[in-house]
Every structure is written in structure tokens, then in C-alpha cells.
Amino acid sequence: MKKVITYGTFDLLHYGHVNLLQRAKALGDYLIVAISTDEFNWNKKQKKCYFSYEERKRLVEAIRYVDLVIPEEEWEQKISDIKEFKVDTFVIGDDWEGKFDFLKDYCEVVYLPRTPEISTTQIKKDLMK
């Protein structure tokens, strides 16, 4: 069984997220999604989420492409997650191009194109207008 993992905040879930998860799942048989916890988002990313970790986890778990959701609690956990879950492919949006090449020592790394016309950042900006 080929396992794929991706990471993200997945706040204000939208069709760009679903597109990413669908394309990630197409690269393997089992998709693991690591969702940033509230503490990690606030303390390390200086990002406040609209939905709590538990709410975001519940939403992502409801997507049919997703087999398992785990918490992302620190930047450094990616290597241990890849080893623990015996991951074959790490997938992330191409806005991170090159940033995770160090993981190529552990698994295949794929940068997928983002859905260009949608992002959580843009949704938040549009709501403030």
C-alpha cells in the first residue's frame, strides 16, 4: 500500500483544499493529513484560526479522500511522521516549492499546483471589504 502525507491548517475549508486532497490521494492508496493545532498555529505561525483544531479535523475527516487525520504540533515532526507511518510520498502546495526537499532522503516529495483563484487568505481579505 502506497501512503501519502500532506500538512496544512485547513481553516475556512474550500474547494482548493479539496482539490489538493483529491490530487494527493491520487498519488497513493492511503492519505494522511496532518492539521496544524491551534497552539502550533498561534505560537509558531502567528496565525489565528476561525475554526478550532477539533472543528477543522472533523471537516477534513469528512472528505472522502482522507484516510487519517493527525495533529501537526511542530515543524520538526515531518521526518518522524514519515518514519512512523511508513510514508512513501510527501505532498504540499507549490507555494512551498523547494522548502521540503530535505525530506527526499526519506520519501518522494511532490509539490502540487495550488488552485489559483482561491485561498483562505483571499477569503479573509474579501470578507473584510
What are the residue numbers of the active site? 45, 47
Residue 4 to residue 100: CA distance in whole angstroms: 15
* 6-to-96, 128, 129 alpha-carbon distances in Å: 12, 29, 32
* 35-to-13, 117, 125 alpha-carbon distances in Å: 12, 22, 22
Q: Cβ neighbours of residue 110 under 8 Å, at least 6 residues apart?
A: 27, 89, 90, 91, 92
In sign, the C-alpha dihedral spanning 69, 22, 90, 17 is negative
Helix or strand run (H / E) with residue 59? helix 53-61
